[in-house]
Amino acid sequence: MGKSLILFLSFFLAGQFAVCQSTGACDCYNKNIKDSLVEKYITKRAHKNGYNGTEWQRDCDSLIAMCPNIADAYQLKAIPYIKYGDYATAFPLEDKAVELDPRGFTAYRGFLKCIFTKDYEGAIIDFQKAQQLSRNGFEMDHSYLFYEALCNLELGNYSLAEANFKQDILIQTEGDTSRTSRIHFNTRLYMGILYYEINDNTRAKENLLKCLAIYKELPDANYYLAMVYKRENNMELKNKYLQIAAQTKSKGYTMGEDNIFYSYYPHQITLYEINQALEK
């Protein structure tokens, strides 16, 4: 009976999808139909052609024309504009995706505001809303609280940023802070930067050294650790870590974030800054 029902539903959905394709009369509130349309127009075709071609926009537009209530279509249509920095075109599409599927796309829009447009106040609003919709969720490998911490760090809200980072660690370790192997190295990096910004050298070094214990080639961690030692007038260690930062940066080591090539992350350093510090 169970197998027969599954076969019946499969044939029924296949028939519905065929009618949708041939007539354009789609049941746009049927999740399976919507998923099939995304698979056909985006996953199989648009992803094959890539973001840069006219085919990407054509296929997204075809999907929207058939079912204007598919949030994924608007988010995917916005991707090339985000990559090229055309935020004026991208964000109305992102807003539409959030309107149609707030649980699925509010955090993603917050991520874009935090990393791409530097709208830190707007990003905080989105991540707090996302936290209400999906408690302790993740976006791009980090918890919502991690991004809220970055925003507060950049806004100079240091006590809020510290509290956010501590919550982020609790989320990553599932409440057991002894499970330190679960903590992302960039959480340690930014906690080190936070404490550097508020002149807490001891905790800055503690977190930056923990970051380097996970990822010793990370240029940014080496650079900020060098700046802590410079503040302490330890020129030997300052130069040691700056040289490591210069070498690893020249070899292409980065923070390891997927979007690092499209936008600078908060407090991300450049080779120019490292070389300038070496000359002083």
Give the pLDDT band of residue 55 (cuts 50, 70, 90): confident
> One-letter amino acid identity for 15?
G
pLDDT at 6: 36
Q: Please, where in the chain does CATH 1.25.40.10 lie? A: 184-280
Model confidence over 129-182: pLDDT tens digits?
999 999 999 999 999 999 999 999 999 999 999 999 999 999 999 988 778 889
The length of the chain is: 280
CA distance 112 to 271: 25
Count of Cβ atoms closer than 10 Å to residue 184 Cβ: 19
CA angle 271, 188, 182 (to 5 degrees): 125
Q: Is 74 in contact with 65 (CB distance < 8 Å)?
A: no
Per CATH, domain 184-280 is 3.30.590.10? no
Model pTM score: 0.88
User: Looking at the DSSP assignment, which residues form a beta bridge with residue 142?
Assistant: 139
Give 271-275's long-range contacts (Cβ < 8 A, gap of 24+): 271/246, 273/223, 274/219, 274/223, 274/242, 274/245, 274/246, 274/249, 275/246
pLDDT at 21: 54
- DSSP state, residue 182: G
| CATH number, domain 102-174 | 1.25.40
